[in-house]
């Protein structure tokens, strides 16, 4: 079963921007209640998609990435395809919302 990738400023370029394919990136923080609800959903999605990466970025630890993507509220989920942002989903959503967003770009 695939796991959620926990990204840092050092790994973001390789795992998301240089990746040929779809990557979902969940910008989150440990103190954020809605982020805690979305976490298990991301784990489930990682197991469902062999052809997409499911990633998380802790905005407290990776402030530069949060700044670069202008994260104002979390959770903020970005869908990338071939390194380009395709879609942004702000706030906790149903699993189906994230699944449909991934499927649009695969």
Residues serving a catalytic function are 32, 35
* Residue 75: cis peptide before it, omega within 30 degrees of 0: yes
CA nearest 100: which of 85, 79, 81? Answer: 79
CA nearest 97: which of 31, 28, 29, 26? Answer: 26
Give the H or E element holding residue 6.
strand 5-6
């Amino acid at each position: 079963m695939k796991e959620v990738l926990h990204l840092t400023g050092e790994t973001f370029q390789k795992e998301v921007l240089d990746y040929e394919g779809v990557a979902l990136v969940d910008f989150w923080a440990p103190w954020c209640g809605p982020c805690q609800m979305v976490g298990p959903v991301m784990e489930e999605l990682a197991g469902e998609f062999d052809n997409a990466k499911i990633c998380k970025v802790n905005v407290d630890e990776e402030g530069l990435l949060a700044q670069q993507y202008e994260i104002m509220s979390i959770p903020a989920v970005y869908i990338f395809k071939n390194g380009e942002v395709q879609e942004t989903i702000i706030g906790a959503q149903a699993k189906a919302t994230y699944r449909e967003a991934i499927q649009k770009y695969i």
